[in-house]
Structure 1
Amino acid sequence: MTSSKLCQRSDLEHPVQSLWETRHHLSIHAISKPLDVSINQGRLRLRAVIAKGGSSVLFKGHDVNDGRDYAVKCMPRGAKSSDTYARHARERTLQQRVDDHPNIVTLHRAFAQGEHAFFVYDLYTGGDLYSAIERRLFVGRDNLVRNIFLQLCDAVAHCHTRGVYHLDIKPENILCDKRASRVALSDFGLATTDRDCRSRPPGSKAYSPPECFRHDREGEPTIPTAVSDVWALGVILVNLITTVNPWHAASIQDPKFASYAHDPQSYFAPLRLPVNVEALILRALAIDPYERISTAEIRDTARNIRVFFPVKGYGE
């Protein structure tokens, strides 16, 4: 298998406007610069920029009331009648429905100030799973791969039990502690409570299932939404083992995915994975969504796998 690089990070060139009076745009260089901006009637002090996406900035904030540090997400607020306002409300509601799980980031509170909305989360100091995979922290470490993957499976199963489907599971949306031994699912911006869908636009292309890339046709049968999250888990398992993505997008227009769709078993054969690992990946990445493994099955199967890597090592 000739794999593409691990997923590309979000575009950092379109940051939300800053809070201070000059209202300058944050640049990528500001990530390492210290700040001291007071918000939330003086309760929170923003100390540094952690990360930036297309429409949000994530700050490290200090709560002067309880003395703890938090991650503070800043976004454009939007008028009450706007789609932006509705998206923020949905994200807040759905995350707080499921964030009592140890592997889901806790959303402690949300508030608005001026033209911005703020979400206050637990702070994870180990970065995201993307960085951990990129640093090859999991290569050859069967127990760690099993532990991390089971944590993700538990988080997703918990969400589905509560009727919440994430739809944007990817390494950038999974946060790690300092040792990368504990992870937590974050960013419920695309989450839904719809159990079935006819088709939907892809979230992150590398982690979206093939049904997201088809054209919606009237009368086409609906698909259980949960299987989209299962597909993403399958791709992440490939990431953990190989440090790469199997394809750019699960679209027939992608040559690598087209090769996989033509002959799934042959596609992964060059990796020389243990038979039970390859079987699990193939079930999670079943082209037909109705043949995809369930969230309960993927967790139970992974729990019983002792070895995830080829005996002689991947790439030899």
Structure 2
Amino acid sequence: MMSVKRNVGKYEIGRTIGEGTFAKVKFARNTETNESVAIKVMAKTTILKHRMVDQIKREISIMKIVRHPCIVRLHEVLASQTKIYIVLEFVTGGELFDKIVHHGRLSENESRKYFQQLIDAVSHCHSKGIYHRDLKPENLLLDSKKNLKVSDFGLSALPQQGVDLLHTTCGTPNYVAPEVLSHRGYDGAAADVWSCGVILYVLMAGYLPFDETDLPSLYNKINAADFSCPFWFSPSATSLIRKILDPNPKTRIKIEGIKRSPWFLKNYVPVRARQDEMVNLDDVSAVFDDIEDKYVNEESRDSENGPLIMNAFEMITLSQGLNLSALFDRRQDYIKRQTRFVSRQPAKDILAAIEAAAQSMGLKVHTRSYKTRLEGVSANRASQFAVVLEIFEVAPSLFMVDVRKAAGDTLEYHRFYKNFCTRLENVIWRPRDSDPAILQTMTSLSNSSE
């Protein structure tokens, strides 16, 4: 049976060569030049659903701007009605860590060569104020000449809450700096340096410096930098790795220090970026301005119908059985990362009050339909703080506002929520236990669940 080739612009799309959380990667051919490329395919619905438009637009722009021989090149961005296509350099040599799987470990000289190329790539990006934040084996590729290519510089650093979730639940935290794992505000440059140190250790040892079967033990070892170097590491290599894997980001060696170390300088041939290349971002603007406009139009049509109506099953799930008291009782001292309050005001009035309260607290407000994201800088000014609120209709003229922390420190969220609620006194409904509206809601839920 003949396979049907699909074209996107001048590119003929072939087989799938990779798959991630948000995208598939397909092999493709430029029909004008016959050049092989890799195309990352992302569904617009996924990007919109996860509120990733601005983030991905920014990261794709970064990847186009950051041009270096040791970083996978982003050629251009295209779009169809339903998908976005990110056209990337096709790297043929596989993953660097495939070599470790086949050979057990690399020699110190070969490890040093790849580490030098990695540091050159990372250093180039840091000089432009850009941090990877997710350096790990699958992001390190080799070209046909066995030179290193760092992939996803920018694209891997999805919104921070997504990155944290990835590390702690389904990704590998083995390469992540202790200050990132502990959700403290962190310096992107120092975090990248730590990851480079773990990568160097694995290249030379053939195994991880921190490797435990359970996460608490692993986190403890990473936080204490509890590791030992094998006997075949040279003293100068061991010395450098210990300076890199310093759990204190303030005293951890910086890239400039790494580049001055005798071990690093041996046989060092710097890989520098060309300075004369012009970068055009028109394709990025065209793709993402269109997606955003279309999305806002769709949302505004939906919003005429009012907020989503929460069905009985969702209501029961959220309120843990039929005990709805937690929904109405705002006197509780302990506020979870997801909280709710109820209002009998019209949905539009609730939304207006939320926006006014947020603005009075100096927060940025982004509203689409009856879902609002509030953003600001944390109290210590070291990280982002974000909260998402969504209004649901749970009964006629009875609305529930779901509030959840999207980014930032949990204690700070507690303080925010109490402060925020005092500014919404006229909106939040605090009924008496005997209030007929509660009884009616509980009765209708009970009947629906039977």
Query: TM-score, normalised on structure 1?
Result: 0.72
Q: Match for 1:300 among 260, 267, 286?
A: 260
Contact 2:178 / 2:223 at 8 angstroms: preserved in 1? no
Could you tell me how far apart the structure 1 residues matched to 2:266 and 2:223 are? 26
Shift of 1:85: 2.2
Shift of 1:38: 2.0
Deviations 1:195-216 (CA, angstroms, capped at 9, x unpaired): xxxx966754121111122255
1:150 aligns with 2:116: yes
Aligned residues: CA RMSD: 2.9
Higher relative contact order (CA 8 A, sep 6+): 1
Uncovered stretches (5+) of structure 1, i.e. residues with no partner: 1-33, 217-221, 307-316
Contact 1:149 / 1:237 at 8 angstroms: preserved in 2? yes
Shift of 1:252: 7.9
After the TM superposition, which parts of structure 1 deviate over 4 Å for at least 4 consecutive aligned residues? 79-82, 199-204, 259-264
Q: 1:270 to 1:87 in 2, by over 3 A?
A: same
- SS in structure 2 of the partner of residue 231 of structure 1: helix
AA partner of residue 53 (structure 1)? G
Q: 1:270 to 1:185 in 2, by over 3 A?
A: closer
Deviations 1:148-205 (CA, angstroms, capped at 9, x unpaired): 11000000000000110011111101110235x301111122449x9xxxx9667541
- SS in structure 2 of the partner of residue 296 of structure 1: helix
Could you tell me how far apart the structure 2 residues matched to 1:137 and 1:182 are? 19
Compare 142-151 and 294-303 and name the one that shifted more.
294-303
AA partner of residue 124 (structure 1)? V
1:38-49 alignment, distance < 5 Å: 38-41=6-9, 43-49=10-16
1:177-196 alignment, distance < 5 Å: 177-179=143-145, 181-187=146-152, 188-191=154-157
Q: 1:80 to 1:304 in 2, by over 3 A?
A: closer
AA partner of residue 185 (structure 1)? V
Deviations 1:47-89 (CA, angstroms, capped at 9, x unpaired): 2221112221111100111111101111112488662322321
- 2:220 corresponds to which residue? 258
Shift of 1:271: 3.9
AA partner of residue 132 (structure 1)? K
Could you tell me how far apart the structure 2 residues matched to 1:166 and 1:175 are? 15
Q: 1:35 to 1:68 in 2, by over 3 A?
A: farther
Count of residue pairs the alignment pairs up: 256
Q: Match for 2:53 among 75, 78, 85?
A: 85
Could you tell me how far apart the structure 2 residues matched to 1:36 and 1:64 are? 16
Shift of 1:248: 4.2
AA partner of residue 304 (structure 1)? L
Could you tell me how far apart the structure 1 residues matched to 2:117 and 2:21 are? 28
Shift of 1:260: 6.3
Q: 1:259 to 1:74 in 2, by over 3 A?
A: closer
Could you tell me how far apart the structure 2 residues matched to 1:69 and 1:263 are? 43
Q: 1:64 to 1:281 in 2, by over 3 A?
A: same
AA partner of residue 115 (structure 2)? F
Could you tell me how far apart the structure 2 residues matched to 1:205 and 1:75 are? 25
1:166-181 alignment, distance < 5 Å: 166-179=132-145, 181=146
Could you tell me how far apart the structure 2 residues matched to 1:174 and 1:84 are? 24
Shift of 1:114: 2.5
1:142-291 alignment, distance < 5 Å: 142-179=108-145, 181-187=146-152, 188-191=154-157, 203=167, 204-216=172-184, 222-248=185-211, 253-255=216-218, 258-259=220-221, 262=224, 264=226, 267-291=227-251
1:100-139 alignment, distance < 5 Å: 100-136=67-103, 139=106
Could you tell me how far apart the structure 2 residues matched to 1:44 and 1:280 are? 45
Could you tell me how far apart the structure 2 residues matched to 1:166 and 1:156 are? 8
Could you tell me how far apart the structure 2 residues matched to 1:233 and 1:190 are? 16
Could you tell me how far apart the structure 2 residues matched to 1:61 and 1:157 are? 31
Contact 2:135 / 2:192 at 8 angstroms: preserved in 1? yes
Q: Higher helix proportion, which one?
A: 2
Could you tell me how far apart the structure 2 residues matched to 1:70 and 1:269 are? 40
Contact 1:276 / 1:305 at 8 angstroms: preserved in 2? no
Q: 1:202 to 1:167 in 2, by over 3 A?
A: farther
Q: 1:166 to 1:67 in 2, by over 3 A?
A: same
Contact 1:202 / 1:212 at 8 angstroms: preserved in 2? no
Shift of 1:107: 0.2
- 2:34 corresponds to which residue? 67
Could you tell me how far apart the structure 2 residues matched to 1:52 and 1:263 are? 33
Contact 1:47 / 1:59 at 8 angstroms: preserved in 2? yes
Contact 1:105 / 1:184 at 8 angstroms: preserved in 2? yes
Could you tell me how far apart the structure 1 residues matched to 2:248 and 2:130 are? 22
